[in-house]
Structure 1
């Protein structure tokens, strides 16, 4: 299951890690889609070709967003502007539009703020979708439960027959894992965040943050009113632990799937939601 999506995630991750962040030439007649994911710890910029295959990817650490809310507007605009300029230079195109996203339940004012960041970075904002719906779009799910654990919030969406039946959002995520780790190891926040991201320390870190993950599972059970539609899939950068999905599964009492490169599921889904004419060759 999700073989195609796994291949796309691997391809996008390679683009993010390499320099330049592009792996193909773009012809003037191609219709490109762009996604901008304003996350609590990172901003991700995605460009897809007309077949929804990643052709450009970049991820930058930021402090512009907290718990799904844009708290440093100027920083967000500057970062996205530079990302757009680099993408245009490397692809040799003008990117005209992009989609953005917000956690479910976030106010209309913050949805407007996300759109304004995209607009002020030099692109038309074609749509602002909720993050779990973007993840479902990327995964091609019409029936299932998506749990999107980002830096600041956990968004839960339940889909059946292509319809969104239930949605919820709670202010807990990777940022709160970092706070627990910082307190346990007596580190400042930045040092704890770096430790959390160190793959060689994954097992030791997860032992400390496991109670936070278990609480996320309890929240998911409550938001879905104990009615989880299969498959249950956890995505988002905070789920990037080998034991995350199994811990969730044990708490919920149902099978739970994780994804490779889970921090890129939602950004790619955001780009797939771009309805505008994203480029000129």
Structure 2
């Protein structure tokens, strides 16, 4: 088994473990808990690790508090994070003190303050704030390649060489655009389209309908990797849950494309791995 295959297996096993503790938290009385807060466009996810950085609990909620990677409902975002935090504290019978968060690449000047304030106002001591694809790579463990984080509003790209991020970009195209296309094609409301596309049983039928948007995402990836020697693409983010998206991207980029099991949970777990006990200002 190659090192690459070992990385895939580690990543997928970690996500399976996290899915298990979302359903059934591990109450272990850890000396400290590390929480990753992922404020997504479509979904807010909290991932909790114990003192050994093992998944022990998690929760998520679909919410419309972020658009195109930017916090648009500040009070609503605080409320969702605080409620998820309190829900997990009850399940773990422990206080969650330390939290880390992430933002789309290149948006630190515009939105890092808002994300920081949301996490702190929800009751966490913020210990780290990093870009989303870099957070995802804490789980993926990539040395060379491109991490493509396709969220609700944007597609974030990080290119890594020798384990270091050498290029980041963020472009407005993502799951929101999927929902708009589904809404138009099926005569549904936007909300109905959001729910319809989340059902895996609808993906085979939806893939041809959404193919033009996936091809647009592929062209964005091509544009940003053209000056870099990228031989592998790794997909993360909730929008990548669409069955078959990886095949279209691989065909349009000509580059091997890997999608982990449940790509929605890669980034929040990576954020949690970045959490420490040292608060940032």
Q: When the two structures are superposed, what TM-score results if normalisation uses the length of structure 1? A: 0.93
Gaps of 5+ in 1: none
What are the equivalent positions in structure 2 for 1:234-245 lying under 5 Å apart? Answer: 234-245=235-246
Q: How far is the alpha carbon of 1:226 from its aligned partner?
A: 4.9
1:6 aligns with 2:12: yes
Corresponding residue number in structure 2 for 1:257? 258
RMSD: 1.4
Bigger relative contact order, structure 1 or 2, given CA contacts below 8 A and separation 6+?
Answer: 1
Specify whether residues 214 and 228 from structure 1 end up closer, same or farther in structure 2 by C-alpha distance, changes over 3 A only.
farther
Distance (Å, rounded) in 1 between the aligned partners of 2:259 and 2:103? 21
Distance (Å, rounded) in 1 between the aligned partners of 2:178 and 2:107? 21
1:22 aligns with 2:25: yes
What are the equivalent positions in structure 2 for 1:102-113 lying under 5 Å apart? Answer: 102-113=103-114
Q: How far is the alpha carbon of 1:277 from its aligned partner?
A: 6.0
Q: Could you list the per-position Cα deviations for residues 66-116 of structure 1 after superposition, in whole angstroms to 9, with x for gaps in the alignment?
A: 011000011110111111111112112211110011101114241011010
Aligned residues: 273
Q: How far is the alpha carbon of 1:14 from its aligned partner?
A: 2.6
1:59 aligns with 2:60: yes
Corresponding residue number in structure 2 for 1:126? 127
Could you list the structure 1 runs, at least 4 aligned residues long, displaced by more than 6 angstroms after superposition: none
Corresponding residue number in structure 2 for 1:172? 173
Q: How far is the alpha carbon of 1:26 from its aligned partner?
A: 1.9
1:188 aligns with 2:194: no
Contact 2:26/2:92, CA 8 A, preserved across alignment: no
Contact 2:11/2:260, CA 8 A, preserved across alignment: no
Q: When the two structures are superposed, what TM-score results if normalisation uses the length of structure 2? A: 0.93
1:137 aligns with 2:143: no
Contact 1:15/1:22, CA 8 A, preserved across alignment: yes
Distance (Å, rounded) in 1 between the aligned partners of 2:170 and 2:110? 16
Distance (Å, rounded) in 1 between the aligned partners of 2:258 and 2:227? 18
Corresponding residue number in structure 1 for 2:216? 215
Corresponding residue number in structure 1 for 2:93? 92
Contact 1:178/1:189, CA 8 A, preserved across alignment: yes
Gaps of 5+ in 2: none
